[in-house]
Structure 1
């Protein structure tokens, strides 16, 4: 477990990017993105957060946010600009951090998770809030299963083998403890109460077929954010783990491009309009149809 939970720090230029991985996982989820950003001239830090990352015990979501804030402040003391990028529940943590540190240059939300409401989430998921207050709290664990957040079948098979050998993989753990899920729910509630006050430049990237977090989550967040420079991109060949799946290069390229645009425009004083990717218009129409069906 130790090798899987080591922090990643790749020094580049004066714009640092704090990468926050998913719940009870590790910086390995962000490794490809981190290397790409370093090659594009950014400094990258993907830290292990005590009580949040795999193998570091369990802490409250306030502790998670304090740990992320310490990492942000350490970067801000050394670099001219610091942006925040989070994956899954790490994206929720990124929003909470941006609310606490509004001086962040930009925020990138990858597979934002404010509720476990994707198509692969079991029907009994809603019972977990109740189960936390029973003796099950210390014994029950949510077990990950196929597709493991991956549309790429070859990579999915590799991850399944890794899960069987070590109960952990480069896309996360095989199980998540109930207390961690409870704290994640508390964090999501906090973010929903704060999101309208977050005005940082923001990039939202989400898979239309995300099996863990419905694309409606990303859509609702984009509508609620107070950002004046907002870009929303929906992917059509990935599941939840978009930093590892079929379109990871698109994710990395769009993230780097957005961060450069944010930096370049921040001193120009020119108005910036929200942008929605038009390349996936057909899938966006499908998303709108889904929303009508659920209304």
Structure 2
């Protein structure tokens, strides 16, 4: 079994702790980490024992404790620490922000509190039951096309990579029942904590996400206690938005939000109404297209 490695890119005194998806690796966040580092941020995408690919599976409480240790290590070295999570990693980021309310900001990418996207198989609801049967040690959920990707060329590349390795830049080739069960426990816990989280929050989600529907993002956007909140909807990506067609938009908007969060707390503490530049461009494009068709 190949082993994932942590990613650390030194930058300024604002560090971003980046949490990958379930049973996966920091490869999922490599493009975003490099982009943020080029913008001046220190980026850290760790391998978490019990959560990342290649480690012995543990309960979700162990995942959170591992994330807390990584956060505290960064907080001891840098003036500001933000938390970024992808998929189940975004649920873990929410739990971490609840435990560490001093975080500068929170970035939730393809947030997954429920596997309810259009490509999830009909039998998904049976897996929580199957966990309590002998199937728990034998059955694994195998990732299949579209692998979270709208981009067909990249999808073909990932299909080949999945045959050679246990994980790729868009996630693991398989996920065990125990890992899925612990992810469900984490999501249930986070749902009860959202209102108490006050950290500045950016939510980025694809409207066609095949793994976690927009209901996941809307739930947090409607209930989180953050005064500085931005939600961005993508229309040319599936679940793996850090690798798919709009990964540059994701990276630019994340960098912009992190810097604006700094500005908010260094100046006016009042509630900020901020319009996404990427969304504004998209709306202008749609308006122009409408005029052409009129």
Query: What is the TM-score with the length of structure 1 in the denominator?
Result: 0.93
* Residue in 2 that maps onto 1:234: 233
Q: 1:114 to 1:274 in 2, by over 3 A?
A: farther
Task: Show the 5 A alignment for 1:114-129.
Answer: 114-129=113-128
Cα distance in 1 for residues equivalent to 2:173 and 2:269: 47
SS of the residue 2:148 aligns to: coil
Q: Is the 8 A contact 1:228 1:274 kept in 2?
A: no
- Cα distance, 1:191 vs structure 2: 0.3
Q: Deviations over 1:6-60 (max 9, x none)?
A: 0000000000000000000000000000000000000000000000000011000
**Matches of 1:275 and 1:116, distance apart in 2:** 30
The ranges of structure 1 where at least 4 consecutive aligned residues each deviate by more than 2 angstroms after the TM superposition are 165-168, 272-282
Deviations 1:244-290 (A, max 9, x none): 000000000000000000011112134123546554669xxxxxxxx
Q: Which residue of 1 aligns with 2:288?
A: none
Q: Which residue of structure 2 lines up, in the alignment, with residue 170 of structure 1?
A: 169
Give the equivalent residue in structure 2 for 1:6: 5
Give 2:67's aligned residue.
68
Counterpart in the other structure of 2:108: 109
Give the paired residue count. 281
TM-fit CA distance, 1:129: 0.8
Q: Is residue 132 from structure 1 mapped to residue 131 from structure 2 by the alignment?
A: yes
Aligned 8 A contact 2:28 2:168 in 1:
no
**Helix, strand or coil: the match of 1:5?**
coil
Match of 2:50? 51
2:200 alignment counterpart: 201
Q: Distance in 2 between matches of 1:245 and 1:43?
A: 23
Structure 1 position 213, deviation (Å): 0.3
- Residues 186 and 276 of structure 1: is their aligned pair in 2 closer, same or farther, counting only changes over 3 Å? farther
CA distance in 2 between counterparts of 1:219 and 1:281 reads: 20
- Say whether 1:23 aligns with 2:9: no
Distance 1:81 1:276 in 2: 24
Measured in 2, the distance between the counterparts of 1:154 and 1:267 equals 44
CA distance in 1 between partners of 2:258 and 2:271 (Å): 14
Secondary structure, aligned partner of 2:193: helix
TM-score of the two chains, using structure 2 as the length reference: 0.93
Deviations 1:87-142 (A, max 9, x none): 00000000000000000000000000000000000010000010000111111111
User: In structure 1, what is the Cα distance between the partners aligned to 2:283 and 2:211?
Assistant: 22
Question: Quick one: distance in 2 between partners of 1:101 and 1:210?
Answer: 29
1: CA distance, partners of 2:275 / 2:266: 23
Distance 1:22 1:274 in 2: 30
Could you tell me whether the CA contact under 8 Å between 1:233 and 1:276 is conserved in 2? no
Q: Residue in 2 aligned with 1:210? A: 209
Runs of at least 5 residues in structure 1 that lack an aligned partner in the other structure: 283-295
The alignment status of 1:83 with 2:93, answered yes or no, reads no
Deviations 1:52-100 (A, max 9, x none): 0000110000000000000000000000000000000000000000000
